[in-house]
A and B are shown apart, each in its own frame.
Chain A
Amino acid sequence: MIPLGYFLIAWIVLLGLYAVLVLLTLLQMIRHGLHTPAAYISTFLFIIVILAVVIGSGLYFSGVDWTGGIDLLPDGLNLFFFGGGAKNISL
């Protein structure tokens, strides 16, 4: 059983790294991009989609009980991946 909270921590770490990459990308766009409507619209769309995904995920995660644990593979999958299912085969 792996605590579910560990996955949330990993997600937040990846999101932090993502934020740095997004800032660097936007910095490049602002510094070198020409001040045209296309530049503004595309940058705005880029930010809006990111915000929508992060806020949407955040809203979903706010309703999750993070104290529980998780078995990554169900029994059926364990049998499938590790060959245990062969015992159940009858000729």
Chain B
Amino acid sequence: MIDLSNLPTSRPGEENIFFLRRHWFVLIPILIAFAVVLSLPFAVYALLHIQYPLFFQAPERFTLYVLGSSMFFLYAWLFLFQNYIDWFLDIWIVTNHRIINIEQHGLFGRTMSELMLYNVQDVTSEVKGIIHTLFDYGVIHIQTAAETTRFVFEDIPHPNHVAKRVIELANEARVQHEREGNMPAQTPALGPRIVPPKTQTS
């Protein structure tokens, strides 16, 4: 769990409801790609050894191979870790007052945006495809009255449950907002809008 006091403009009494990252399954293709890339130096070694058994007889050639393959591995390892960071630093936090979206784009790009729950107009969860259905992860689109762009929670676990809870929180936040003497938000009370899971045919 995250300490909300570290977040900007945290309110007293603000509680962390959800702390979301993309589902771990999205890391699997990256790990497979890394394993394939990692096997390349070994494949080159085996190929040369089979085709030209005398190739590594000269120790200089083996030294050159170690120089190349060690550097290749180091850069591949860095690539893997940067992808992991990209996954690790993409965070969606839902509190009882707001939704915070923190997204890492590559190594140097970072976006942080915030949305007050009483402004939420529409919440849609979407689970598409056989893998998403099996592992129960998908996308949640959150639409506000004021903004044309939607908040998107990408590849998060249990999207239907999260969407329902966000709707409940939005309704509670709207009541609270009006009770505090503010103008009522121009959004109707929300009901669940869940896109049923679909299985991919192709």
Contacts and interface: CB of A to CB of B under 8 A. Distances in A.
Given A25-B81, A46-B77, A33 B66 contact: no
Contacts of B91: 34
Contacts of A7: 63-64, 67
A4 B64 contact: yes
Q: Kindly state the interface size class of chain B when it binds its partner.
A: 20 to 34
Interface in A38-91: 38-39, 42, 46, 49-50, 53-54, 56-57, 60-61, 64, 68-72, 74, 76-77
A68 B73 CA distance: 25
Interface residues of A, number: 38
Contact of A34 (B2, B77, B110): B2
Q: Is the interface of A mostly helix, strand, loop or mixed?
A: helix
B60 A57 contact: no
A25 B107 contact: yes
Interface string A3-43: 01001101100110010011011001100111000110010
A53 B74 contact: yes
Nearest to A70: B60
A67 to B, nearest CB: 11
A87 to B, nearest CB: 19
B145 interface: no
Contact of A54 (B58, B60, B74, B102): B74
18 contacts: A11-B70, A15-B71, A18-B75, A24-B107, A28-B85, A32-B104, A33-B85, A33-B88, A33-B89, A34-B91, A38-B88, A49-B77, A57-B66, A57-B67, A57-B70, A70-B64, A74-B52, A76-B54
